[in-house]
């Protein structure tokens, strides 16, 4: 099948997008929690390629270049500004190589820019600095030939606007997703639905939310966004059991923790007991699709098996759907005639 554009795929149905490389590569041992810089593209390219591949085979229609945090400011903090450009280019090249491996339809490749953490809408100098950081990264995206750019996890509306403007200057389609902190409002006072409406009216192909929040505390805002926005809407929560009291994964307590954590919070390295199971995630994805969310995925903490549930809940078959769970031939819980029937009596005692 010839490769369709993002816009065409959105017209045809739901687009599934796998994110969360930061946590996944940290878990696999190739990235440091805390600084969270994606040097893996240069230091362990095979590990990054395999992770790209795992998410694509689990149902992602897009390989998102892992350049989250790979901006000039972060590189300055770790004293490695000289690797900024090679890192960005390499992350995109590896994504393109993997996208071509897709057996039925070549995956889309998206460039990625994100929250800079130095944006201050009151300070012209900081705004221009952020604009320059985005411009150089999008320039490399354009030269390397991405299909679109995903600007993500912005907690300032105005920062997202700068990102969108720079993407548009390069003539690329934009997916812009906001990260909503626990204040339930963006830091410059915009509601997330107002922000998304303005970004959509300004020409972003897709607008919505990603990261910080689990399905339970993101969904009410996705509903508001869907009500405000005429265009395509995205939802990519983290797969954790966030609550109204603790709406983001930054301050999620673990009542069962029996040791002293080396970090102030369970974020980012002790969130494991707070995971949703894959079926809860699938139930959310189904609900999101029914609500009219067009671009569905997961962010930090997602595993390929979880993403596959999202893809299947959205009605898609993943490359690796052949490995989706089937307990029919399990020695204790199966029902197949070929099983040793004696074992089935021990189910409750196992």
Binding stretches for Zn ion (CB under 5 A): 211, 299-300
- CB of 37 or CB of 300, closer to Zn ion: 300
Query: How many other CB atoms are found less than 10 A from the CB of residue 319?
Result: 19
CA angle 93, 297, 323 (to 5 degrees): 85
- CB of 204 or CB of 211, closer to Zn ion: 211
Residue 194 CB partners (closer than 8 Å, separation 6+): 157, 228
Residue 195 CB partners (closer than 8 Å, separation 6+): 157, 160, 178, 186
Q: How far is the CB of 350 from Zn ion (least distance, A)?
A: 37
Q: How far is the CB of 143 from Zn ion (least distance, A)?
A: 26
**Cα–Cα distance measured from residue 199 to residue 15, given in angstroms and rounded to the nearest whole number:** 20
Question: Could you identify the residue written with the tokens 């204790």?
Answer: 332
Q: How far is the CB of 276 from Zn ion (least distance, A)?
A: 15
Residue 116 CB partners (closer than 8 Å, separation 6+): 71, 73, 130, 133, 159
**Cα–Cα distance measured from residue 252 to residue 306, given in angstroms and rounded to the nearest whole number:** 20
- CB of 110 or CB of 211, closer to Zn ion: 211
Q: How far is the CB of 210 from Zn ion (least distance, A)?
A: 6
- CB of 15 or CB of 300, closer to Zn ion: 300
End-to-end CA distance of the chain: 48
Q: How far is the CB of 136 from Zn ion (least distance, A)?
A: 23
Q: How far is the CB of 298 from Zn ion (least distance, A)?
A: 9
- CB of 162 or CB of 300, closer to Zn ion: 300
- CB of 113 or CB of 127, closer to Zn ion: 113
**Cα–Cα distance measured from residue 41 to residue 63, given in angstroms and rounded to the nearest whole number:** 14
Closest to 206 measured CA to CA, from 163, 230, 174? 174
């Amino acid at each position: 099948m010839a490769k369709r554009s993002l816009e065409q795929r959105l017209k045809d149905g739901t687009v599934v997008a796998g994110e969360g490389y930061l946590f996944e590569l940290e878990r696999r041992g190739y990235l440091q929690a805390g600084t969270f810089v994606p040097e893996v593209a240069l230091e362990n390219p095979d590990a990054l390629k395999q992770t790209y591949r795992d998410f694509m085979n689990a149902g992602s229609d897009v390989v998102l270049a892992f350049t989250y945090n790979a901006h000039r400011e972060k590189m300055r903090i770790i004293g490695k500004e000289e690797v900024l450009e090679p890192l960005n280019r390499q992350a995109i090249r590896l994504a393109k190589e993997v996208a071509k491996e897709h057996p039925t339809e070549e995956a889309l490749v998206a460039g990625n820019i994100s929250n800079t953490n130095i944006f201050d809408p009151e300070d012209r100098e900081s705004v221009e600095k952020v604009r320059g950081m985005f411009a150089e990264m999008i320039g490399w995206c354009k030269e390397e030939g991405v299909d679109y750019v995903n600007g993500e996890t912005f907690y300032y509306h105005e920062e997202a606007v700068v990102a969108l403007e720079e993407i548009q200057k390069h003539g690329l389609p934009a997916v812009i997703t906001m990260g909503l902190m626990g204040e339930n409002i963006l830091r410059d006072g915009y509601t997330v639905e107002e922000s998304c409406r303005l970004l959509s009216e300004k020409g972003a192909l897709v607008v919505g939310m990603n990261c910080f929040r689990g399905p339970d505390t993101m969904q009410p805002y996705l509903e508001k966004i869907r009500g405000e926005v005429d265009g395509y809407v995205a939802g990519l929560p983290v797969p954790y059991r966030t609550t109204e009291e603790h709406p983001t994964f930054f301050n999620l307590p673990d009542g069962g923790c029996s040791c002293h954590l080396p970090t102030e919070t369970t974020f980012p390295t002790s969130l494991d007991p707070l995971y949703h199971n894959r079926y809860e995630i699938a139930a959310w994805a189904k609900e999101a699709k029914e609500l009219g969310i067009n671009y569905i995925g997961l962010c930090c903490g997602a595993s390929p098996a979880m993403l596959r549930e999202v893809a299947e809940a959205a009605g898609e078959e993943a490359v690796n759907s052949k490995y989706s769970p089937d307990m029919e031939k399990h020695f204790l819980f199966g029902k197949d005639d070929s099983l040793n029937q004696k074992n089935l009596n021990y189910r409750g005692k196992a």
